[in-house]
Amino acid sequence: MLKIIFDTNIYGKLIEENKINSIREKILEDKEFIVYGFKPIKKELRDAPKNEKLGRLSKRNLLLALYNELTKGRYLKDSIEVNNLALKFYNSYRKFGGIRNWSKTNIDVDFTLVACASFYRLDIVISDDSKTLLSKSARKAYKHICVKDGFWQPNFWKYSDLKMKYNF
């Protein structure tokens, strides 16, 4: 069984797919692919503009509905330990040449998401955020801290990997 967490951008890409209903069903029916929720991701989804539409429907409502369906009450708790690990990742990221600021670019959510995945020993983080979460400096930082401090290191997939798994 694979324990998965999606970055915010993955929900946005999913709702824009033409075959979203069949994709959602494939993910929900796959008992070996378990998607977890995390409060900072839900908060980012809630922050989507209320008046943006996708067709006739509210984009924000579509995002939140998909999130709730895929996570089905499986939520990971934020904690001091998760936040401390996220800060360790960030400090290491800066040492490896990362240039983004902690709170101005939402990199805090990215590193907290990866820290959550490490802390709760999730198998995969899926994101298409190559500027922050999946950048070379960030990936070096995750590996460095996980090896140095003995944390679990999740695998990283892009949206294209998810598409390949479910043939959409």
Residue 51 lies in domain: 2-166
Q: In the chain, what are the helix, strand and coil shares in percent, each to the nearest 5?
A: 55, 15, 35
Tally of domains within the chain = 1
- The strand pair at 2-6 and 155-157 is best described as unpaired
Cα torsion 12, 68, 138, 93 to 10°: value is 120
> Where are the extended beta strands (E) located within 33-109?
33-38, 53-54, 57-58, 75-76
146 sits in the region (left: phi over 0; alpha: psi -120 to 50; else beta) called alpha
CB 3 within 8 A of CB 34: yes
Tens-digit pLDDT string for the chain (168 aa):
999 999 999 999 999 999 999 999 999 999 999 999 999 999 999 999 989 998 888 999 999 999 999 999 999 999 999 999 999 999 999 999 999 999 888 899 999 999 999 999 999 999 999 999 999 999 999 999 999 999 999 999 999 999 999 999
What CATH code is carried by the domain that includes residue 46?
3.40.50.1010
Distance CA 85, CA 14 (A): 29
- Model pTM score: 0.96
